[in-house]
Structure 1
Amino acid sequence: MATQTPAAGASRIGSAVVAGRGVMRALRARGRRRQRQEEILLELLRQLTLMTEEIHRANLIQQYRLTVEQMDQAIGDSSLASAGSTLTGLPEGKRRQMIFAHRQYGNLLLAYRVRACDWDELIGHVRVLCRNAVFAEYWDRTVEHRRSLPADSEEARVGAAVDIILEELADDPDEWWIVGPSSGEPQP
């Protein structure tokens, strides 16, 4: 029968403890490394999301720039104004006014969509724009154009706010600075 001395058994246990600690350190290091990799991945995803949003805003601006160029041509050339407008029975000067009113509204909508202004700033600008009789007429004449917008779209929400402002202005035009939706962006 083989006998072990107590010192030999203790050294094996000591070696196992040291080895176990080493394994634990390696696992913790691997865990920290994995956690760091996940943090880096999350940061990259956040940056990618921001970049995607920025590209979307740049595309909106470019599309609006093209639309404005066409509207400018239509304002300057009555034959193009007739070709680009769905409003019928308007004299040339009135048609140009409607195109310009559309351009003003589109500019405010774009500013909001690319986050150049927030909801409260947009409503402030729209309040001023709605005081203009030409804009109010444009809005009334184009009500059918807005019916096809998805109800949860930004443009539909802004359009609903314009409707409220114009209704309230009709009731009390002297209180124009407080008409319209309350502060804070509406939820879709």
Structure 2
Amino acid sequence: MPGRLTRGFALATENPDERRIGSAVGDGPQDELLKSLLRQLTSLTEEIRNANRIQLHRIMAEQTGRALADPALAEAMSTLQGLSEARRRQVLFVNAQYSAIMLNHQLGAIDWNELIGHLRVWCVNGVFQQYWEMTGDHRKSLPRDSLEARVGRAVDFMLDELAEGAEEWWVVGTPDTDPSG
């Protein structure tokens, strides 16, 4: 048995790649290699999560498209009561746009201030205002520290300021829109 180990060691050290690996292991950069692999795995996991978000958004967008084209599907898709066919389709469209803006933020395509900026533009839209009012109960069930809940509080704040006629409602980054909650 000792002869095999010696022979195997001699063969391993004759290969320059194996010598580098052996010396790296011997020098202690295993931790760095493991950290690098962990960073790569974390990055890959995030890429997969984002790909799944995009796919789910695509599925919902396709379903919303079908609902916008067919009033019977629009009625089946909507949880909101007492809307005309035209208003229901408008609200479904606003919801799809809101979801797309949120997805852009979740994917890192836009930062918090850009997210709030996009939503500020929507706040002046009457259909969006009605949609937001009608979906308030939906947001009450969200965990307080979730992105949706923080965005909800920021939009509520902007709509309140807009309703009061405050000129500052347009300013991005008010303390009440802090992303940390």
Asked whether the 8 Å contact 1:130–1:136 carries over to 2, the reply is: yes
The structure 1 residue matched to 2:26, chosen from 30, 33, 43, is 33
Q: Please, what TM-score do these two structures have when normalized by structure 1?
A: 0.78
The structure 2 residue matched to 1:162, chosen from 155, 161, 177, is 155
TM-aligned CA deviation for residue 182 of structure 1:
3.9
Which residue in the other structure is 2:97 paired with? 104
Unpaired stretches in structure 1, ≥5 consecutive residues: 1-28
The structure 1 residue matched to 2:50, chosen from 53, 57, 62, is 57
Which residue in the other structure is 2:87 paired with? 94
Which residue in the other structure is 2:109 paired with? 116
Letter of the 2:68 counterpart: I
Unpaired stretches in structure 2, ≥5 consecutive residues: 1-21
The structure 1 residue matched to 2:37, chosen from 35, 40, 44, is 44
Question: Which structure is higher in RCO with an 8 Å CA cutoff and minimum separation 6?
Answer: 1
- Which of structures 1 and 2 has the bigger CA Rg? 1
TM-aligned CA deviation for residue 53 of structure 1:
0.9
Which residue in the other structure is 1:133 paired with? 126
The percentage of aligned residue pairs carrying the same residue is 50
Q: Please, what TM-score do these two structures have when normalized by structure 2?
A: 0.81
Which residue in the other structure is 2:68 paired with? 75
Letter of the 1:66 counterpart: I
Change (3 A) 1:149 1:53: same
Q: 1:7-56, CA deviations, whole angstroms, 9 ceiling, x for partnerless residues?
A: xxxxxxxxxxxxxxxxxxxxxx9898353111011011011111111111
Q: 1:130-171, CA deviations, whole angstroms, 9 ceiling, x for partnerless residues?
A: 111110110001111111111111111111111111111111
